[in-house]
Amino acid sequence: MTGNARYDILFEPVRIGPKMARNRFYQVPHCNGMGYRDPTALAHMRGVKAEGGWAVVCTEQVEFHHSSDITPFIELRLWDDRDIPALARMVDKIHEHGSLAGIELAYNGMNGPNLYSREVPMGPAHLPVATFTYEPVQARRMDLQDIRNIRKWHLAAVHRARRAGFDLIYVYAAHALGFLHHFLSRRYNERTDEYGGSLENRIRLLREITQETKDAVGHDCAIPLRISVDELLGEGGLYQAEVEDMIGLMADVPDLWDVTLAGWENDSRTSRFAEEGAQEPFISGIKRLTSKPVVGVGRYTSPDRMVSLVKKGVMDLIGAARPSIADPFLPNKIRDGRLEDIRECIGCNICVSGDFTQSPIRCTQNPTMGEEWRKGWHPERVRPRGSDKSVLVVGAGPAGLEAAHALGKRGYAVTLAEAGTQLGGRVLAEAKLPGLAAWSRVADYRRLQLQKLANVEIFFMSRLDAPSVLEFGFPRVVLATGARWRRDGVGHLHTRPIPIAPGAILISPSEIMEGQLPTGKTVLVWDDDHYYMGGVIAELLAEKNYDVVYLTPASEASTWTRNTMEQHFIQKRMLEKGITIHGFKTVESVAPGEVLSACVFTGRKTRIAADAVVLVTARLPNEELALALQACREDWADAGIEDVTSIGDALAPATIAHATYAGRRYAELLDNPPLPEGVIPFRREIAGLLPLREGNPT
């Protein structure tokens, strides 16, 4: 059946209630920052997953009633019939490729402040709404009429979901993200009526809703139940033994058990904090409690691991969100025996940041993610080349590698020149930092792909200068020469260099990654970058037995990593490694043996002793070559050069995801006819206007 019989088991069909999944690959619900704002972009993104072989493709959470919205997050809505067409479009895209479409109906309850609908949030108890932002809003305790209403609303949404064409209609009780989870957990449920107290009581609403859903549509829709196996809070919250008892009580009521771990931040931990399959100990006991199929996640990208999960009876379906984002064609590649073509997720959670920043999903490994309809990009296919003009790519970091790869696939003759001896640029250096080893996959995937392209030539130890570029005389030149960390303190706070006295010992992150270490015992790390680098450098130095003092003008370490759901884990690890963390502090100047710091509020100055200082603030593009080529522009024509373009960090330093995107963008656009003036280079949807008097004003 497959290119390798060992993997045949992954391609066995699995019955889920009245439906049949064509194989064991199951894209579990995942958010994406597109939701109701970008329905067609979302429909195409899901459609590409189906095309790539995922037998089941699910939505993100779908709000099923206006009295609970999750604003500012942009998810899907199924509030009334008007929401059906957007969802039906997604279903159609999924069905086009023979996959099953699943919908995750959600009512956030005390997890959503209702900033859009302005309804009063409801939950099992009077409690502050549990958001990431400490919203000053409380949820009210639901009474029995509220419970009857919510059952009615759920049922109405179930019927709408069926009309939209969904094959699987979820009952969602996981991730602490909805009322059903809140009713289950003693942490939130302090009720004394028949919906609180004992396990039987706390599970009552879940059981009622699951049964009602089955009775209503179970004859032709499958009803998965999604549950958290442990809240990791001990007996104060849901814990494994209790949840297993719950599952025992409802063993065969749903058609499928979708098991998750605690809150989303635990279920989707970055590779820095969790290995592939970290959830397995929590999932492995579930199958013996039910005769129904079980699906779970674990950032699984290894087919051997998947086979073992099925054979060991841990799960029947291999659930994935991130592996399906990084490689929508992962199932087909396994089926066809093309394992070396798998674009493995690196576990960075940049995809998650799309949801947290309400912007369309992006992926470090898969630069086409979210752009399937917006820009017409496809993770596996590119258009044939638009001319015979060859391309020189300078620099083999993520930007240069992706450009060379996509240009090579388009059929251009490409020469890739790299100053060093390996492919990968910054990811090679960063993958050596504590916890970031998986990042080397960005280079691994592209190295293997480039090996297959006879039209891409790679030259190592080739640091190019302007005369050599002119001498080569390629019509197109792409500069992907990367960036270096600054040493002058310029960052978000200081936009001008700070005073650094002679004799002060300063070392930059670039130098540390090149293998240098500071002299002395106490090192101060000043983090005005706020993503992972400051925290990870502090961690590295602590591991090397320095006394590390970490200063940030923000309230917490690596504050932007809230968007990748890592901040809490990072700060915990830093504290456990003995790093002293000072929030709300600046570095004003550096002198031998000390820095002058100031409070961000009062400006009050303090001196902090430090033998050496690492300034993690900002980077500067390696633009010497670009500037030198600009300076000899008049020589280009004679040399046969038509165009020189800087991309990635060489243009403006940003994330690795920005770099792979930049490489892809260059390759996608090459030889495209220019867009007419004023035309936006991507598709977008605009809300349809209602006639002024239509609608339901109260």
Catalytically active residues are 31, 172, 175, 267
The encoded tokens of residue 521 equal 């015992």
The DSSP bridge pattern shows strands 19-21 and 14-16 to be antiparallel
What distance in Å separates the CA atoms of residue 197 and residue 183, rounded to the nearest whole number? 10
Considering only CA atoms, which of 470, 505, 469 is closest in space to residue 487?
Answer: 505
Q: In sequence order, what are the residues at sequence separation of 6 or more whose Cβ sits closer than 8 angstroms to the Cβ of residue 649?
A: 397, 399, 426, 480, 482, 483, 619, 621, 622, 659
Q: Is 349 in the site for ligand SF4 (CB under 6 A)?
A: yes
Strand ranges of the sheet holding 122-123, from the earlier edge strand across to the other edge? 122-123, 138-141, 127-128
Total Cβ atoms within 10 A of residue 672: 10
For the CB of residue 425, give the shortest distance to ligand ADP in the complex, in Å.
Answer: 2
Q: Does 398 bind ligand ADP (CB under 6 A)?
A: yes
What stretch of H or E contains 92?
A: helix 84-95
- Work out how close the CB of 359 gets to ligand SF4 at its nearest, in angstroms, rounded to a whole number: 13
Amino acid identity at 535:
G
Q: What's the chain's length in residues?
A: 698
| Interacting span for ligand ADP (CB under 6 A) from 145-153, 204-212, 377-385, 391-399 | 391-399
Phi, then psi, of 612 in degrees rounded to 5: -145, 160
Q: Which of 238, 399, 450, 670 binds ligand ADP (CB under 6 A)?
A: 399
Residue 363 interacts with, from ligand SF4, ligand ADP, none (CB under 5-8 Å by kind): ligand SF4
CA 530/CA 553 separation, integer angstroms: 9
347 binds ligand SF4 (CB under 6 A): yes
Looking at the Cβ atoms of 380 and 623, the one nearer to ligand SF4 is 380
Q: Which stretch binds ligand SF4 (CB under 6 A): 255-263, 320-328, 585-593, 688-696?
A: 320-328
Please spell the DSSP secondary structure of 491-529, one letter per residue.
SSS-SSPPPB-TT--EE-HHHHHTT---SSSEEEEEE-S
Query: Is residue 650 a contact residue for ligand ADP (CB under 6 A)?
Result: yes
Looking only at residues 414 through 453 of this chain, which bind ligand ADP when binding is defined by CB under 6 A? 417-420, 425-426
Q: Among residues 303 and 398, whose Cβ is nearest to ligand ADP?
A: 398
Positions in 658-687 near ligand ADP (CB under 6 A) = 659
Residue placing its CB nearer to ligand ADP in the complex, 77 or 665: 665
Half-sphere exposure of residue 340: CA atoms within 13 angstroms, side-chain side: 7
Q: What number of chain residues touch ligand SF4 (CB under 6 A)?
A: 13
Shortest distance, CB of residue 621 to ligand ADP, whole angstroms? 9
By the rule CB under 6 A, 533 interacts with ligand ADP? no
Name which of 27 and 108 has its Cβ closer to ligand SF4: 27
**Contact flag: residue 561 with ligand SF4 (CB under 6 A):** no
Q: What span, in angstroms and rounded, lies between the C-alpha atoms of 544 and 565?
A: 27
Query: Cis bond leading into 72, ω under 30°?
Result: yes
* Cβ–Cβ < 8 Å for 587, 488: no
161 binds ligand SF4 (CB under 6 A): no
Stretch that binds ligand SF4, among 274-282, 290-298, 362-370, 597-605 (CB under 6 A): 362-370
Of 417 and 433, nearer to ligand ADP (C-beta) is 417
And the tokens for 315? 């799960």
Tell which positions 468-507 bind ligand ADP, by CB under 6 A: 480-483
Q: Which stretch binds ligand SF4 (CB under 6 A): 65-73, 236-244, 272-280, 347-355?
A: 347-355
In angstroms, give the least distance from the CB of 436 to ligand ADP: 14
364 is a site residue for ligand SF4 (CB under 6 A): yes
DSSP label of 385: P
Binding site for ligand SF4 (CB under 6 A): 322, 325-326, 345-351, 363-365
Binding site for ligand ADP (CB under 6 A): 394-400, 417-420, 425-426, 462-464, 480-483, 622, 625, 648-650, 659
